[in-house]
Amino acid sequence: MSADRNPVTEAELHAWLDGELPEERLAAVERHLADHPEVAQRFDRYRAQRTLLGQSFGPLIDRPVPDALTPPFTLRERAEPVRGPWGSGWGRGALWGMALAASLLVFVAGGASGWLLRDRVGWRADPLTAAFIADAVAAHRVFSVEVRHPVEVGIDQEAHLVNWLSKRLGKSMRCPTVTRGGYQLIGGRLLADSAGPVALYMYEDAAGRRITLYIRPAPNTSGSAFRFAADGGVHALYWQDNGLALAVTGELDRDTLSGIAEEVYGALNS
The domain boundary, picked from 67, 93, 117, lies at 117
Cβ neighbours, 10 Å, residue 169? 19
CA atoms of 195 and 33, how far apart (whole Å): 45
Q: Residues 111, 143: one domain?
A: no
Average pLDDT value over all residues in the chain: 76
- Are 196 and 264 contained in the same domain? yes
CATH number for the domain harbouring residue 259: 3.30.200.100
Please check the confidence at residue 199 and state whether its pLDDT lies above 90: yes
pLDDT score, position 76 = 41
Give the model confidence (pLDDT) of 5-20 as tens digits. Answer: 788 888 888 888 888 8
197 or 77, higher pLDDT: 197
- Say if residue 213's pLDDT is above 90: yes
Question: Does 5 fall in a domain?
Answer: no
Residues 103, 28 share a domain: yes
Find out whether 17 and 49 touch, Cβ atoms under 8 Å.
Answer: no
If asked whether residues 28 and 102 sit together in one domain, one would say yes
Please report whether residue 259 resides in a domain.
yes
pLDDT at 97 over 60: no
User: How many Å apart are CA 4 and CA 21, to the nearest integer?
Assistant: 19
Tell me if 43 is assigned to some domain: yes
Phi, psi dihedral angles at 249 (to 5 degrees): -130, 140
88 occurs within a structural domain: yes
Same structural domain, 134 and 170: yes
The pLDDT, as a whole number, for residue 64 is 62
Quote the pLDDT of residue 177: 87
Return the top range by mean pLDDT from 23-37, 151-165, 223-237, 252-266: 151-165
- Of 111 and 205, which is predicted with more confidence? 205
Same domain, 68 and 191: no
Angle at alpha carbon of residue 85, lines to 80 and 90, rounded to 5°: 30
For residue 197, cis peptide bond before it (omega within 30 degrees of 0): no
Residues 217 and 178 placed together within one structural domain of the fold: yes
Query: What is the predicted pLDDT for the residue at 72?
Result: 53
Yes or no: say if 17 and 4 are a contact pair by the CB < 8 Å rule. no
Residue 12 is predicted with a pLDDT of 86
How many Å apart are CA 169 and CA 183, to the nearest integer?
Answer: 25
- Assess whether 75 and 96 both reside in one domain: yes
State the total domains in the chain.
2
Beta-sheet pairing, 184-193 with 153-154 = antiparallel
DSSP per-residue letters across 6-61 = SPPPHHHHHHHHTT-S-GGGHHHHHHHHHH-HHHHHHHHHHHHHHHHHHHHHHHHH
pLDDT tens string 20-65: 888 889 999 999 999 988 888 888 877 777 666 665 555 555 566 5
pLDDT score recorded for residue 223: 65
The pLDDT-based confidence of 169 (bands split at 50, 70, 90) is: very high
pLDDT at 87: 41
228 and 176, same domain (yes or no) = yes
Backbone angles phi, psi at 184, to 5 degrees: -130, 145
Question: Given a cut of 50, is residue 138 above it in pLDDT?
Answer: yes
For residue 105, pLDDT beyond 60 = no
Q: What is the pLDDT of residue 65?
A: 59
* Domain ranges, residue 241: 125-268
Please give the angle made by the CA atoms of 131, 257 and 151, to the nearest 5 degrees.
65
Q: Which residues contact 111 (CB under 8 A, 6 or more apart)?
A: 14, 17, 43, 45, 46, 47, 49, 50
Q: Which amino acid is at 88?
A: S
